[in-house]
Structure 1
Amino acid sequence: MQQLLLYFFTFLILIISYGKNPDKTRLALKKAWRSFENILPQFIGVILLVGVVMAVMDPLTIGQLLGDQSGWSGVVLASVVGAVTLIPGFVAFPTAALLLEGGAGLMQIAAFISSLMMVGIITIPVEVTYFGKQSTLLRNLLAFLFSFVVAMVIGRVVS
C-alpha cells in the first residue's frame, strides 16, 4: 500500500511539474532515463550474481556463513566482503534484503552495508591522490572499525 501511495505521489508531483514548466520536466525525465540506462547494467549484474549465489548456496549455508549463529566470524566476513566490494547503494540495499531472506543475520548485514558504503579498498588509489596516503588509510581503517560498532549496535537493538 505504501508503494502505491509513493507512486501516486510521485506521479502527481510529475504532473504538477509538467504543468509549471513542460520543457524542464521533459529535460529532467530525459536525464533520469539516461541515468537509469547507465545504472541498469550494474544493477542487473549484481542481482544476477546474488541470484546465482542464492541458487548455489542454500539458506543453511548462507546461515552458517552470515547467519546469526555465525557470530563475530560472520560479521568479520561480511565486513571484509563489503570493504572490498564496489557496489552502489541503490544495488546494495536490495542485495542485503535478498541475503536477509536467504538466512543472513542482521548484525552481519549491518557490517556488510556499513563497510560497503564507508570503506573503499578499490578506490584507495584515487583517494590517495586527493587526500594523501595517511588520511586515506586512517579514514578507511576507522570506517572499517566503525562497521563493527554498527553491527554491535544493531545486535543490541534487535535482540
Structure 2
Amino acid sequence: MFTKILYALAITLVIISAVKSKKKTKQALKKAWKSFEAMMPQLLSIIMIIGLILSWLDPELISKIIGGESGALGMIIAGLIGSITLIPAFVAFPLAAALLQNGAGTVQIATFVSTLMMVGIVTIPMEARTFGKKITTIRNSMAFVLSFVVAILMGVLL
C-alpha cells in the first residue's frame, strides 16, 4: 500500500512540475532516465550476486551458520565476513534482506551489515597511506567492536 502511495505522489508531483515548466520537467526526466540507465548494470549485478549466493547456500545452511540460534559464534562469523567483504551498500541491504528471509538471524545480519559498512580490511593499505597505520588500526578496531554493540542493541530493540 505504501508503495502505491509513493507512486501516486511521484506521478502527481511530475504532473505539477510539467504544468509549471514542461521544458524543465522534460530535462529532469531525461536526467533521471540517464541515471537509471547508468545504474541498471549495477542493479542487474546485485540480482545476480544475490541469486548466486542463495543458490550456493540453502536456508538450512544459512540458519546453521548465521541463524538466530548461532549466537555469538554466528555474530563473529558474520562480523568477519562483513569486515573482509567489499560491496557497496546498495548491494549489501538487498543481500541482507534475502539472507534474513532465508534463515539468518537479525543480530547476525546487523553485525554483517554494520561491519560491512564500517570496517574495511580490504581497504586498510589505502587508508593507512592516507591516515597512518595507528589511526587506521584504531578506527577499524573501534568500528569492529561498535558493530557488535549496534547488533546487540538491534537484537534487544527488534
TM-score of the aligned structures, taking structure 1 as reference length: 0.85
The 1:25–1:104 alpha-carbon spacing in structure 2 relative to 1, beyond 3 Å, is same
The 1:142–1:52 alpha-carbon spacing in structure 2 relative to 1, beyond 3 Å, is same
The match for 1:99 is 99
Q: Figure out how many residues of one structure are paired with residues of the other and give that number.
A: 158
Secondary structure of the equivalent of 1:9? helix
Unmatched 5+ stretches in structure 2: none
The match for 1:16 is 16
The 1:16–1:132 alpha-carbon spacing in structure 2 relative to 1, beyond 3 Å, is farther
Tell me the amino acid that sits aligned with residue 72 of structure 2: W
Q: Which has the larger radius of gyration?
A: 2
The match for 2:27 is 27
Within 5 Å, give how 1:73-84 maps onto structure 2.
Answer: 73-84=73-84
Pair 1:44-2:44 in alignment: yes
Identity %: 48
Tell me the amino acid that sits aligned with residue 34 of structure 2: R
Unmatched 5+ stretches in structure 1: none
User: Structure 1 stretch 70-79 or stretch 88-97: which is displaced more?
Assistant: 88-97
Structure 2 CA distance for aligned equivalents of residues 38 and 128 of structure 1: 32
Tell me the amino acid that sits aligned with residue 106 of structure 1: T
Deviation at 1:39, TM superposition (A): 2.8
The match for 2:156 is 156
The match for 1:127 is 127
Secondary structure of the equivalent of 1:103? coil
Secondary structure of the equivalent of 2:120? coil
TM-score of the aligned structures, taking structure 2 as reference length: 0.85
The 1:27–1:89 alpha-carbon spacing in structure 2 relative to 1, beyond 3 Å, is farther
Structure 1 CA distance for aligned equivalents of residues 21 and 89 of structure 2: 31
Structure 2 CA distance for aligned equivalents of residues 76 and 152 of structure 1: 12
